[in-house]
Amino acid sequence: MNAAPVFDRVYGGLKQLLRSGAILPGTRLDPARYAEQLAASITPVRDALHRLAGEHMVVATNDGFQAPSPTEPDLRDLYDWHYQLLLLALRTSHRIEADFLPHPPIEAHLADIAEQLFGAIANAAPNLELRRAIVALGDRLHAARRAETLVLSGLAEELSELIEADLRTLRTLLGRYHRRRIAVAAEILRSLYRTAN
């Protein structure tokens, strides 16, 4: 039997739990618990946790793993780094293909729509490492993006404006988007720590 499909399923399941905010920050990640929850043995769960630690999605400690416990400065840095990476992608890309822009179903979560938009910006960049960095950082920010909906208003309109913007306007709007979140990072964190979606 090939172990790769089991690992991929476990890794994807754990990553989705972290991205969705279903695991609260600071939660100890017991491999036995997640092995049972994901119908797998402990070995692929440990392997997936090690990989997620390498991606900064979890923290490896002396006694195991835990979900990251970001501080307000940490979250501000993540938002700022995300903005800088997107600007670099826009500066090196010629245009964003309309086919890559999100056309989400009505029931899509705003965090998923933002992820599609930022993925389209990443895909327009010719540098593969830059594209990977934007996607990886998006994974780390996804739970915070879900918590943003509890703190910020007008998010659907903000995303629509970003999606419809030309490249020059997009740079300005992305700055506003990220500054807005940096300004309320403490409130976003409080929502993130209180809520398991």
pLDDT single digits (tens) 77-135: 999 999 999 999 999 886 665 545 555 555 668 999 999 999 999 998 999 999 999 99
For the beta carbon of residue 159, count every other beta carbon within 10 angstroms: 20
* pLDDT (mean) for 62-66: 93
Instruction: Domains for the chain: give ranges and CATH numbers.
Output: 4-66 (1.10.10.10), 72-194 (1.20.120)
**C-alpha to C-alpha distance for 115 and 161, rounded to whole angstroms:** 15
CA distance linking residue 131 with residue 119, whole number of Å: 8
Residue found by looking up tokens 């659907």 in the block: 156
pLDDT at position 137 is: 97
pLDDT in tens, 119-174: 999 998 999 999 999 999 999 999 999 999 999 999 999 999 998 888 889 999 99
Confidence of residue 71 (pLDDT cuts 50, 70, 90): very high
Label residue 196 by pLDDT band (50, 70, 90).
low
So what's the pLDDT on residue 86? 97
| pLDDT, tens digit (0-9, with 9 covering 90-100), for 2-13 | 567 999 999 999
pLDDT at 197 over 60: no
Give 112: exposed, middle or buried? Use CB within 10 Å, 0-12, 13-18, 19+.
Answer: middle
Q: What are phi and psi of 113, to 5 degrees?
A: -65, -45
Residue 179 C-alpha from the chain's centroid: 17
Copy the structure tokens of residue 16: 């989705």
Question: pLDDT value at position 109?
Answer: 86
pLDDT at 46: 96
Band of residue 72 on the pLDDT scale cut at 50, 70, 90: very high
Q: What pLDDT is recorded for position 103?
A: 59
* pTM for the full predicted model: 0.89
Angle, CA of 51, 72 and 185, to the nearest 5°:
105
